């Protein structure tokens, strides 16, 4: 069983508390296939309520910490060395359409000498009751409530043959560029591997890669709250995490994750530069 710090316990409490209302809202969202405005407004309220729940629980435990959250943006704290990075509902489109694949993502960033680093992160799937989590230099773990709630260390896949590997990615949605480039990348990866999956929640894609369900992942243009927790989980599990473009992955949002054996070929397929 993983030895959790006090802050990780609080982060998990916040995620589980936010998930209770989210699960009730999900049951209602499945019935809201009426108009574009109605369901979208409903999901927006679900996002914000989950975010406020997380904010309240974490602020009570660490009153001075700052926050960077998808819905309400930056909230400065009196402690300028720590901030939580929160995506209260990653996979909003899935949620809206009644697809049971979405997550809560919470990360803690520390900045003591001008260089921020991720020190704790979790990705929680309320539907499956799977809690993926990691703390810097302590390893990555999963707690599956369906299997008795025991913590198990994450072991990424160690496949070294590209043609037997499965990869995950994201597809740009309405209003976002990059479709033509992605189609070329898909053509190369699909033609050389066992397949590519797209499930619509980047935080879970990263967590599943750390757990060995995917052999690698790549995507461009992600927000910091999409990848902060998952990035730490993958690194602590032993995966290589890099940016697809110049700069740090937390700044660029262009991410590629794989093991050392498969990374060169995946980079070649997705035009790494």
Q: What is the pLDDT of residue 172?
A: 77
Q: What is the length of the chain?
A: 273
Has this prediction a pTM greater than 0.95? no
> Domains in the chain, start-ordered, CATH in brackets?
6-153 (3.30.540.10), 162-269 (3.40.190.80)
Question: How far is the C-alpha of 184 from the C-alpha of 246, rounded, in Å?
Answer: 21
Tens digit of each residue's pLDDT (9 = 90 or more) over 229-264: 999 999 999 999 999 998 899 999 999 999 999 999
Nearest to 167 by CA among 271, 240, 262, 261: 262
The arithmetic mean of pLDDT across residues 53-74, rounded, is 95
Query: pLDDT per residue over 95-137, tens digit each?
Result: 888 899 999 999 999 998 888 999 999 999 999 999 999 999 9
- At 102 the three-state DSSP class reads coil
Structure tokens at 225: 């709250």
d(CA 105, CA 123): 5
Residue 60, sorted as left (phi over 0), alpha (psi -120 to 50) or beta, turns out to be: alpha
pLDDT at 119: 98
Angle in degrees, 0-180, between the axes of helices 224-237 and 202-210, rounded to the nearest 10: 0
Do the beta carbons of residue 53 and residue 10 sit within 8 Å? no
Q: What is the pLDDT of residue 33?
A: 46
């Amino acid at each position: 069983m993983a030895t959790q710090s006090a802050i990780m316990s609080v982060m998990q409490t916040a995620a589980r508390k936010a998930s209770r209302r989210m699960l009730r809202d999900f049951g209602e969202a499945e019935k809201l296939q009426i108009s574009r405005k109605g369901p979208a407004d409903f999901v927006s309220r679900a996002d914000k309520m989950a975010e406020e729940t997380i904010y309240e629980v974490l602020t009570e435990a660490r009153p001075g910490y700052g926050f960077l959250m998808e819905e309400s943006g930056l909230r400065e704290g009196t402690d300028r060395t720590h901030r939580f990075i929160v995506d209260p509902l990653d996979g909003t489109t899935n949620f809206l359409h009644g697809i049971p694949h979405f997550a809560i993502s919470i990360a803690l960033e520390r900045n003591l000498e001008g260089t921020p680093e991720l020190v704790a992160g979790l990705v929680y799937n309320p539907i499956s009751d799977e809690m993926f989590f990691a703390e810097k230099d302590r390893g990555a773990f999963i707690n599956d409530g369906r299997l008795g709630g025991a913590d198990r260390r994450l072991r990424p896949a160690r496949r070294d043959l590209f043609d037997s590997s499965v990869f995950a990615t994201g597809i740009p949605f309405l209003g976002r560029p990059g479709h033509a480039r992605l189609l070329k990348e898909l053509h190369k990866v699909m033609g050389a591997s066992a397949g590519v999956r797209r499930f619509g929640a980047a935080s879970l894609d990263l967590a599943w890669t750390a757990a060995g369900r995917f052999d690698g992942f790549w995507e461009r243009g992600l927000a910091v709250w999409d990848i902060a927790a998952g990035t730490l989980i993958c690194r602590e599990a032993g995966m290589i995490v890099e940016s697809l473009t110049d700069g740090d992955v937390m700044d660029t949002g262009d991410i590629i994750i794989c093991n050392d054996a498969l990374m060169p070929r995946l980079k070649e397929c997705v035009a790494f530069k």
